[in-house]
């Protein structure tokens, strides 16, 4: 009897899950997420994402219904029940990039697993406990796609189930091919900065304008390496600031800001000084975002102008 033969074994018979996913050098349409292929005896091989990005972990799930023939093969040849997956199962050996996979872990019924891309037939093995015929066996294995995988590479293989030892595979069930297409990683999120410049005039004895550049990060990412450059009118003679610097040859004020979190507003402030002015002289200033990271997708809100005028030689109105 099959059950007697199985019970007499001193070591646990295992189902061995073998997986090789060869990255093929051709472009192919990605399957739906997730993807499933099937074979005889309810064989199912499923991957949770058929369009992974480099560095992503994907998990393969396996299911097979044991038959009497499977148990006969074990009785006759010894060995194991084995899940199998690889490009050689159907006598095919397309070009492959095995360095685009790395074993992470095995789960479900799998008790041990190994992965060796140098093997020519079944590169991944995962042992699961033995079950009598008439019962399903299942397992799962997770792999990481190499961070250097190329957009459009196809990682594909056949899944299957066999019984017997490593030489005598009396019964074999093979699925159709399961393909994964490596997708380009998503671009980093942008950080949209908006600039709002306000000006307040002071004077009579000393004519100066206090400037406040409010920089709002509309997200979604944090902005770093931000610089706000304010073009002052040519009548300016200097500034006062603890964080900004003034270049007299260009009448520009540069205000560096280390970072601005998404959804927050930071201020760059300074005072600009003027000598005797011509009545009616326009004293307009424009603040502009001149540097930031990551990309700022909207240029229309990157600058703002504050309008001021000389009322008397020492009096300014903004």
Domain ranges of the chain: 2-181, 191-317
CATH code of the domain occupying 2-181: 2.60.40.1510
| DSSP H or E stretch at residue 4 | helix 2-7
Contacts of 248-253 with C-beta under 8 Å, sequence gap 24+, read: 253/211, 253/229
pLDDT value of residue 97: 64
Kindly tell me the burial class for residue 4, based on how many C-beta atoms sit within 10 Å of its own C-beta (0-12, 13-18, 19 or more). exposed
pLDDT value of residue 2: 35
Tell me yes or no: is domain 191-317 CATH 1.10.3720.10.
Answer: no
Provide the whole-model pTM.
0.60
What is the rounded distance in angstroms from the CA atom of residue 46 to the CA atom of residue 36? 4
Block mean pLDDT (10 aa), the chain, length 318: 32 33 31 77 91 93 85 72 70 63 87 80 75 84 91 83 65 80 87 97 79 96 97 94 95 97 97 87 95 95 95 85
Which residue has tokens 């091919």? 177
What is the rounded distance in angstroms from the CA atom of residue 145 to the CA atom of residue 156? 13
């Amino acid at each position: 009897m099959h059950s007697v033969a199985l019970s007499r074994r001193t070591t646990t018979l295992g189902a061995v899950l073998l997986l090789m996913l060869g990255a093929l050098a051709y472009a192919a349409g990605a399957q739906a997420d997730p993807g499933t292929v099937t074979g005889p005896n309810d064989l199912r091989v499923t991957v949770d994402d058929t369009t992974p990005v480099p560095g992503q972990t994907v998990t393969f799930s396996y299911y097979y219904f044991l038959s009497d023939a499977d148990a006969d093969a074990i009785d006759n040849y010894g060995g194991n029940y084995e899940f199998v997956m690889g490009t050689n199962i159907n006598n095919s050996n397309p070009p492959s990039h095995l360095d685009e996979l790395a074993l992470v872990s095995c789960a479900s019924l799998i008790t041990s697993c190994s992965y060796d891309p140098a093997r020519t037939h079944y590169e991944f093995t995962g042992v699961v406990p033995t079950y009598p015929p008439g019962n399903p066996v299942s397992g799962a294995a997770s792999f990481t796609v190499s961070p250097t995988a190329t957009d459009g590479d196809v990682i594909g293989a056949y899944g299957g189930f066999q019984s017997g030892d490593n030489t005598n595979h009396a019964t074999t069930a093979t699925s159709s091919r399961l393909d994964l297409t490596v997708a380009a990683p998503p671009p980093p999120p942008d950080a949209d900065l908006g600039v709002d410049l306000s000006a307040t005039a002071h004077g009579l004895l000393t004519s100066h304008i206090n400037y406040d550049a409010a920089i709002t990060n509309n997200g979604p990412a944090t902005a770093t390496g931000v610089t706000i450059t304010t073009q002052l009118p040519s009548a300016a003679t200097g500034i006062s600031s603890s964080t900004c610097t003034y270049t007299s040859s260009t009448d520009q004020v540069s205000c560096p800001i280390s970072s601005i979190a998404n959804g927050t507003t930071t201020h760059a402030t300074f005072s600009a000084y003027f000598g005797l002015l011509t009545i009616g002289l326009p004293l307009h200033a424009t603040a502009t975002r001149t540097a930031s990271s990551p990309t700022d997708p909207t240029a229309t809100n990157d600058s703002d102008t504050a309008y001021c005028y000389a009322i008397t030689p020492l009096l300014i109105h903004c």
